[in-house]
């Protein structure tokens, strides 16, 4: 088979080191690929006024698969301050390049698995009967709609008159907000389309079917957010009835789901939600399996897909001479990439190696040792980013 080309997108801060170590693991596992580096992130904002240059878009258009580290984002004003002097006159406004990628390539299906590694010292434990300690095995895969909802960007402070007039036509608006001066209103919309809702639902049912999960849970709030959450749940009911009768459809409210997070996390399989609630519920479950050092994700579009750890660029660790951050989230994201492009044997091999290193418990990054992240953690016995990758490579 022809060698693959993967677009590597290191980005900022710790993005570069976790990606480098991950590529070392991929090579050691026998994955044959060429990597072309795509420019993305803060440097390109400062120097070019665009954190997602067109040449990077072109690379992804051509090669279809991106492996992304992390970027640094800053609020609008801070971003403007750091822009190079000659660009300051141009009226440029910063926007996050990862959100930009999701929107440009319509990467609308986000998958975030949260699966317990046996032996991980960060695993959630709870008190059982007679004060016993239980360590439930979490095996949840969250499907988050990635492009719409509260992240769709349709929002105003002091909305234009025509928007205000349209809102006034809604009886609830007149009743609850009709007396508020227009310039004291901030409005963020939550827009769901049938097409994207059907895509995220179908992706979640298909996944449950393929990997043998018994249930799909819609985690929204249809009793209160009747139109958007309501539409998603109704469409899920119809899809389950017509196409996936062998899979159970469960319905939870996001607030109750977070309360139950620690009560019965082992009961859930596939969970599907809109953009905001998907973000919340996936961070919640990630906390049960070790947090940001372990949380991986895939952003899938119809053509292009980008795989990335959930964590950001962790700037405070970026300049350490020896990097201390946990590369497992990035490595697990690369395994999702391998599964996606049908390199399942290599993916399984890497996942097995990661699981063995964690189970053995000899090599642990600072987060796994419950240390505060400081430059001296390696002297105190924590593995560096590279040592963790080496340990995984040794198990391959
Ligand atoms: P962050 O995820 O970068 O870091 C938060 C904390 O989590 C770190 O200080 C560290 O204690 C821990 N952490 C993160 N990754 C870890 C790893 N691999 N191993 C061990 N510990 C790890 O989030 P923060 O500090 O809120 O944001 C930093 C920058 O990253 C910001 O500019 C933010 O906008 C950006 N960001 C980018 C994301 C992306 O590229 N997709 C996602 C989240 C934040
Ligand atoms: Mg998040």
**Is the separation of the CB atoms in 323 and 373 below 8 Å?**
no
Residue 389 CB less than 6 A away from ligand 1 = no
- The pLDDT value given to residue 75: 87
Report the predicted TM-score, pTM, of the whole model to 2 decimal places: 0.95
Domains of the chain: 1-111+297-396 (3.40.718.10), 124-151+191-288 (3.40.718.10), 155-188 (no CATH)
Return the pLDDT at 1. Answer: 60
End-to-end CA distance of the chain: 23
What's the CA-to-centroid distance between 297 and ligand 2, angstroms? 11
Please identify, by atom number, the ligand 1 atom nearest to the C-alpha of residue 314: 3
On whether the CB atoms of residues 8 and 65 are closer than 8 A, the answer is no
Which tens digits make up the pLDDT trace of 163-200?
A: 999 999 999 999 999 999 999 999 999 999 999 999 99
Sign of the CA dihedral with 6 first, then 9, 14, and 16 last: positive
Q: Report whether 327 contacts 24 (CB < 8 A).
A: no
The average pLDDT across 329-354 equals 98
| Atom number in ligand 1 closest to CA 18 | 18
**Ligand 1 contact via 199 beta carbon (within 6 Å):** no
Structure-token match 């006159």, residue found? 89
- Residue 279 CA, ligand 2 centroid: distance in Å: 5
Which ligand lies nearest to the CA atom of residue 329 in the structure? 1
Query: Percent of the chain scored above 70 by pLDDT?
Result: 100
Helix or strand holding residue 299 (H, E): strand 296-300
Span 264-279, average pLDDT: 97
Please, is 342 exposed, middle or buried when counting C-beta atoms within 10 Å of its C-beta (0-12, 13-18, 19+)?
exposed
- Over residues 122-151, the mean pLDDT reads 96
Q: Give exposure, 62-73, as e/b (b: 16+ Cβ within 10 Å).
A: ebbbbbbbbbbb
**Could you report the per-residue pLDDT of 144-166, keeping only the tens digit for each?**
999 999 998 899 999 999 999 99
Residues 281-298 pLDDT 10s: 999 999 999 999 999 999
- Asked whether 333 lines ligand 1 (CB < 6 A), one says no
Q: Is a pLDDT exceeding 70 seen at residue 276?
A: yes
Any atom of ligand 1 within 6 Å of the Cβ of 296: no
pLDDT, tens digit (0-9, with 9 covering 90-100), for 344-379: 999 999 999 999 999 999 999 999 999 999 999 999
pLDDT of residue 275: 97
Angle formed by the axes of helices 14-28 and 328-340, nearest 10°: 50
Q: For ligand 1, atom 9, which residue shows the shortest CA distance?
A: 314
Return the closest-CA partner of residue 251 out of 283, 215, 287.
Answer: 215
Instruction: Assess whether the C-beta atom of 73 lies below 6 angstroms from ligand 1.
Output: yes
pLDDT digits (tens, 9 = 90+) for 16-26: 999 999 999 99
Are residues 273 and 143 in contact, defined by beta-carbon separation less than 8 angstroms? yes
CB of residue 384 inside a 6 A radius of ligand 1: no
Q: What is the pLDDT of residues 199-236, one digit of tens each?
A: 999 999 999 999 999 999 999 999 999 999 999 999 99
CA-317 nearest atom, ligand 1:
9
């Amino acid at each position: 088979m022809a060698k693959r080309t993967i677009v590597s997108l290191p980005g900022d801060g710790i993005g570069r080191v976790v990606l480098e170590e991950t590529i070392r693991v991929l090579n050691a596992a026998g994955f044959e690929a060429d990597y072309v580096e795509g420019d993305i992130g803060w440097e390109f904002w400062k120097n070019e006024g665009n954190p997602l240059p067109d040449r990077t878009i072109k690379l992804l258009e051509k090669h279809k698969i991106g492996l992304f580290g992390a970027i640094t984002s800053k609020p609008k004003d801070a971003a403007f301050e750091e822009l190079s002097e000659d660009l300051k006159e141009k009226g440029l406004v910063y926007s996050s390049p990862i959100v930009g990628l999701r929107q440009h390539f319509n990467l609308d299906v986000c998958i975030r698995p949260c699966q317990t590694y046996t032996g991980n010292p960060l695993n959630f434990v709870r008190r059982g009967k007679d004060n016993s300690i239980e360590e439930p095995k979490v095996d949840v895969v969250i499907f988050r709609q990635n492009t719409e909802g509260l992240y769709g960007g349709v929002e105003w402070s002091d909305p234009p008159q025509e928007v205000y007039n349209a809102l006034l036509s809604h009886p609830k608006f007149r009743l609850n907000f009709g007396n508020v001066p227009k310039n004291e209103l901030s409005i963020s919309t939550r827009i769901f389309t049938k097409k994207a809702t059907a895509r995220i639902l179908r992706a979640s049912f298909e996944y449950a079917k393929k990997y043998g999960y018994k249930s799909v849970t819609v985690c929204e709030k249809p009793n209160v957010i009747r139109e958007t959450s309501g539409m998603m749940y109704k469409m899920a009911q119809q899809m389950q009835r017509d196409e996936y009768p062998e899979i159970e459809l469960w319905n939870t409210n996001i607030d109750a789901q977070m309360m139950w997070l620690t009560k019965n996390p082992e009961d859930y399989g596939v969970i599907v939600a809109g953009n905001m609630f998907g973000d919340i519920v996936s961070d919640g479950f990630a906390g049960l399996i070790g947090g940001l050092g372990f949380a991986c994700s895939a952003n899938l579009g119809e053509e292009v897909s980008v795989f990335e750890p959930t964590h950001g660029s962790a700037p405070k660790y970026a300049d350490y001479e020896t990097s201390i951050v946990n590369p497992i989230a990035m490595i697990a994201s690369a395994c999702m990439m391998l599964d996606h492009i049908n390199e399942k044997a290599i993916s399984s091999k890497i996942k097995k190696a990661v699981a063995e290193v964690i189970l053995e418990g000899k090599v642990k990054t600072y987060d796994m040792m419950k240390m505060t992240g400081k430059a001296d953690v390696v002297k105190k016995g924590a593995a560096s980013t590279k040592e963790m990758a080496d340990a995984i490579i040794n198990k391959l």
